[in-house]
Structure 1
Amino acid sequence: MSGLRRLRAWAFGHELNPDNIRAQLEAGAVPVSYADCRTCADPCEDGHEEYPGRFTVDMETQMLGSVDSFRRQIFISTGAMDWDVEITWSRQSLAAHVTASLQRTAPIPSTTTADAKIPQIHGIFNASESGVVSVLNAHYKSIADDDDLQTVLVFPDFMIVSGVPSTREGARELWQTVLDPHIPRVLGSSAEESGFSTWVLPYSCVITFCSHKRRDKRCGISAPKLETAFTNALQARNWTVHNQLDYIDDPPLEKFKGTEEDKNAFVLERLKGLREEKTALILHNSHMGGHAYAGNCIIYTPNGASIWYGRVTPHEAESIVVETIEGGLLLPKLLRGGMGLSKSGCKTVHDW
C-alpha cells in the first residue's frame, strides 16, 4: 500500500490489510480462506480477459461493511439488461409496483440467541436483523406461460415465485404472500390465497453480477467478462452452468399433498440436497450498490447465505469457485459483507 493510501485509510478508519481483515472475520466466527484470491501470475499468463482500458476501481476505501442489511432480496425477470438508471422509472414495471407497495417493517426478533462472545462485524448480518426488502431486476426470462406474468427469485428463501402480474395488485399480493418480513419462509401459498406458483430454486448456488451499464459503465463492462470466467472455472470442475431458468417439471409447492409440517420437511430436504448437484445459475442484475468496487458479485447458497464480493476480475474467478463456491470459505480481500456468514461452530458457510 502506498503512503497516501495508508494515510487515507488511517484518517477514515479503514482497514485494508487482508491479514487484519481475516483476523477480524475469524473473531466473528466467519469461515475464511488463507488462499490467494488470484490464481494466475501478475501479469497474467493464463489468458484471462482484462477489462478494456483497465477502468478505475476504488482500491482505497474499506469494502467490508459496504453492504446494507435486508430481510429479503428479490430478482425480477425482465429478459433484458438495458434498464433505466433507476429501475422504478419504468412506471408500469413490476419493480416500480413492488417498490411502491413495500412497507418498512421493524426487524423480526430472531428465535436464536446470539453468542455474546462473538463480536458483530459491520456488513455481516442475519435476515432477522432487518425489515427491508431489496428489489433488483435481472436478465433472465420469465418461466410463466403468460408473457405478461413475471417470475421472481426470492433470497435468502432460495425460491422461485412465478405468475406475478406487473400491476399494483400483483405487487400487493406478492408482498402479502411472499415478501412481508413476518413470513418466515416462502413455502407456497394455497390456491385460494394466490395464483402464484412456487418452487425451490433447483441450483447448488446462484451467482449474480451487477451489469447495470446505464448506472455505471464499469458494471456493464465487467459483468459479461466475469460470466465467461466463472463459467469456464465451474465447467472445468464438472459443474453445469445455466444463465436462464429452465422449465420446471415438478409440481409447484401450492399443489403439495400433505400437511404444512410435511411440506416444510420436503423443502428443507430439497435445499440440503442441492449442494451435491453441482449446478449453478449465473445472472446479470441491476444496481446493487457499490459500483465503485466493480466487478460486483453476489453468491447465494441454499442454506440462506449470501456472499458479496467486490473488486472481482476474471483473475479471481477460479479461486472464488474453489474456495467459496465449493469450499465454503470466504476470501477476506474481496469481501464486502453478506447474510448468514457468521457460523459459530461451523467449518464452512455451507454448513446448516
Structure 2
Amino acid sequence: MLNRLTSSFDRKVSISSPSSSSPSQLTALDPKDQNTLTSLGIPLCSHAQACIDCSLPCEDDDDPPEYLNKSLLRLWSKQEIDLTPSPLLSIAHPTPFRSHALISTDGKKDWVREVSEEIGSLAEMFEKFSGEDEKKLDGGGESSMTTTKTEGNLPKGVWSTTQESSPTRVLYQNSSHYSSSCQTTNEEGKPNHTLLLFPSFQLLTNVPAPSGGNEDVLRAIWDHFLRAGGGVEEDEIAKMRRKELVERQGVKRWVLPYRAVVLLCSHKKRDARCSIAASLLSSALRSHAEQAGWTVDERGDDHDSHSTTSTWGSLSSSPSKDEGWEWRKMASEGKTPDHHGEDGEEGGGTLGIFQISHIGGHKYSGNVIIYFPTGAGVWYGRVSPVRDVKAVFEKTIQQGIIIPEFLRAGINLVRESPATASSQAAAAAEEDPSSSITNGSGGKATSTTTTLVSGTRDELLQKGKTQDGDGVGVPRRTLVQW
C-alpha cells in the first residue's frame, strides 16, 4: 500500500528543493519540535504509519473513489501545491488567536475577495472592532494582541488560549453554515446571524446584522463572548452595561452537538485551489464518517431543537471558566439529542463540516481545521483528497492523534501543566521503560521522546491507566480524551 501513496489524480507539485527530492514526500516536524510535543504527552503518528494502520487501503492510482467528482479531480491534478521540504509548523502557522468566530452566510461557499470590505457585513464590523482593540493595547505600534509566552516552550504555531499570557486576537471568517436564529432585530430587517465559536465549541444565536443603531450591541457581543477574558481591562460598570446589552438583544449560547467540527477553506475568489480541495475533501470526509456510523451535518441550523429537548447544551449569558464541560463531554461521546449512547457506550455522533473564507496558506491546500469538544484544535495543510482523508478521519478525528506532516497549528494541545505531564511520563517510563509508548500496530517502542504512536483511542487510554484511574502514561491525553 505504501507504493500507492501517490495518485495520477493527486498534486502537481511546486518544490523549491533540489530535483532529487521525491514529489510525494511530506516533511516531518523539526526534531526539536517533535521532541517537545511528545515529551508533553501529545500523541503523534507519522503519515506513513497512519497509512499502515489504515483499515482500508488506498484506491488504485487510476481508479479513484467513486464519491470524488471526476471533473474536480482533473482540475485538482492541475493545481500547484507547495511541497517545499520544510515542516508546515515552521513555515505556515497562523498568527495565534484567542477566539475563532465563524459568521453564518446561509449556504454560501464563496464570498467577495475581502470579506471585511463588504459594506454592511458583520465581518466589516468585526474588522473595525479588531483594529480598535489593537490600538488600545499597543498604542498603534507593533501588535501585542498576538504575543504569548509559549507554555513549556512549545513550538511556534502551538499555543494555549487558557493562560494569562494567551493571545487576545479574535480571528473571524464567513462560513457556509445556516443561521438558526429565530429573530430579526435590526433596523433593516436582515435576519440575525449565528456564530460558531472555537475553541470554546459554542454556538451563539440572535447576533444582529449591522445597522445604523446597533453598533454598541455588536461591540458588547464582541467583548462579552469573542474577546471574553482577554485584552483591555474594564471597570465593573462597563461590564454590567455590556451584559445588559447582550441580554436585551436576546443572544443565546449553546454547546455544539458534534464529536468534532471540520472547517475547509473554500474561498474561490481568493484562490481556486481551496475551492476545488474543499469540495473534494468534504465528499471524502462525509463518505468515511458515514461508513463509520456517524451522521454528517453541513448546515448547522438544527439547534433550535435544543429548547424542546431539555435545553441540551444551553449555557448562561455570562462566560465562565470550564463552563458546559458536561455538555461538551457528552458531545465528544456522541450523546446528543439525535444520538443517545447507552450507559458506558458511545453514540454514533455527528461530524460538523463547514466551508469557510480565506484562512491563509492556500498554496498548502488542502487546508483542514479540526476542533474538538475538549477545547483542542489542529490546523492541517497539504491534505490530499485522494490519499489522506481516511487517515485524517481515523487517526485525528476519531482517535485524537496528530499526523505531524500535516500540522500547521495546534491549539490547547496541552491540557495540563507540562511539569505534571513530564513527571507522569517519567514515572511511567521508570515503571516499564520498554512499553510506555507503542510504535505501530502492536509494536513496542523505547522510552525516547521522539517515538511516534499508533493504536486506537481505547488502546492509548488503557496504556495510561493506573490503579486510581488517572492516566499517567505517554500519551497523557489524545485530543478527544478528557
Asked whether the two chains share a fold, i.e. TM above 0.5, the reply is: yes
Q: 1:91 aligns with which of 112, 115, 119?
A: 119
Shift of 1:231: 0.4
1:185-264 to structure 2, matched below 5 A, reads 192=247, 194-245=249-300, 246-251=302-307
Unaligned runs of 5+ in 1: 10-14
| 3-state SS of 2:42 partner | coil
1:272-291 to structure 2, matched below 5 A, reads 272-277=329-334, 278-291=349-362
Mapped contact 2:96–2:146 kept (Cα < 8 A)? no
Partner of 2:75: 52
Shift of 1:242: 0.5
Q: 1:143 aligns with which of 180, 193, 198?
A: 180
Which letter does structure 2 place at the counterpart of 1:273?
A: M
Mapped contact 2:81–2:364 kept (Cα < 8 A)? yes
Shift of 1:16: 2.8
CA shift in 2, pair 1:47/1:58, >3 Å: same
CA shift in 2, pair 1:316/1:108, >3 Å: closer
Higher RCO by CA contacts (8 Å cutoff, separation 6 or greater): 1
Shift of 1:47: 2.1
Partner of 2:17: 5
Shift of 1:81: 1.9
Mapped contact 1:149–1:165 kept (Cα < 8 A)? yes
Mapped contact 2:115–2:123 kept (Cα < 8 A)? yes
Q: 2:102 aligns with which of 75, 80, 98?
A: 75
Unaligned runs of 5+ in 2: 1-12, 52-56, 138-143, 185-189, 232-242, 335-348, 422-475
Partner of 2:167: 130
| 3-state SS of 2:392 partner | helix
Taking the aligned partners of 2:168 and 2:16, their CA distance within structure 1 comes to 39
Mapped contact 2:76–2:276 kept (Cα < 8 A)? no
Mapped contact 1:51–1:222 kept (Cα < 8 A)? no
Deviation string 1:194-238 (CA, Å, 9 cap, x unpaired) is 421111111111101000000011011110110000000111100
Taking the aligned partners of 1:327 and 1:300, their CA distance within structure 2 comes to 13
Deviation string 1:117-148 (CA, Å, 9 cap, x unpaired) is xx421101111420100010001111112352
Mapped contact 1:124–1:342 kept (Cα < 8 A)? no
Shift of 1:289: 1.1
1:40 matched to 2:63? The reply is no
CA shift in 2, pair 1:219/1:4, >3 Å: closer
Q: 1:26 aligns with which of 28, 38, 55?
A: 38
Q: 1:172 aligns with which of 197, 213, 219?
A: 219
Taking the aligned partners of 1:43 and 1:338, their CA distance within structure 2 comes to 32
Mapped contact 2:169–2:227 kept (Cα < 8 A)? no
Mapped contact 1:73–1:133 kept (Cα < 8 A)? yes
Shift of 1:253: 9.4
Shift of 1:176: 2.6
Mapped contact 2:306–2:313 kept (Cα < 8 A)? no
Taking the aligned partners of 2:147 and 2:282, their CA distance within structure 1 comes to 37
| 3-state SS of 1:64 partner | helix
Mapped contact 1:177–1:194 kept (Cα < 8 A)? no
Deviation string 1:12-56 (CA, Å, 9 cap, x unpaired) is xxx934684655542454211145355515636452643525110
CA shift in 2, pair 1:138/1:170, >3 Å: farther
CA shift in 2, pair 1:334/1:256, >3 Å: closer
Mapped contact 1:72–1:155 kept (Cα < 8 A)? yes
1:309 matched to 2:352? The reply is no
Mapped contact 1:28–1:120 kept (Cα < 8 A)? no
Shift of 1:273: 1.4
Which letter does structure 1 place at the counterpart of 2:27?
A: L
CA shift in 2, pair 1:44/1:28, >3 Å: farther
Return the TM-score normalized by structure 1.
0.84
Query: Which structure would you say has the larger Rg?
Result: 2
Deviation string 1:161-196 (CA, Å, 9 cap, x unpaired) is 111112134431221321224169xxxx67745421
Q: 1:152 aligns with which of 184, 188, 195?
A: 195
Q: 2:391 aligns with which of 296, 316, 319?
A: 319
Return the TM-score normalized by structure 2.
0.62
- Size of the aligned set, in residue pairs, is 338
CA shift in 2, pair 1:53/1:69, >3 Å: closer
Q: 2:363 aligns with which of 292, 299, 303?
A: 292
Q: 2:405 aligns with which of 328, 333, 336?
A: 333
Mapped contact 1:28–1:121 kept (Cα < 8 A)? no
| 3-state SS of 1:81 partner | coil
Which letter does structure 1 place at the counterpart of 2:304?
A: I
CA shift in 2, pair 1:131/1:265, >3 Å: closer
Partner of 2:129: 101
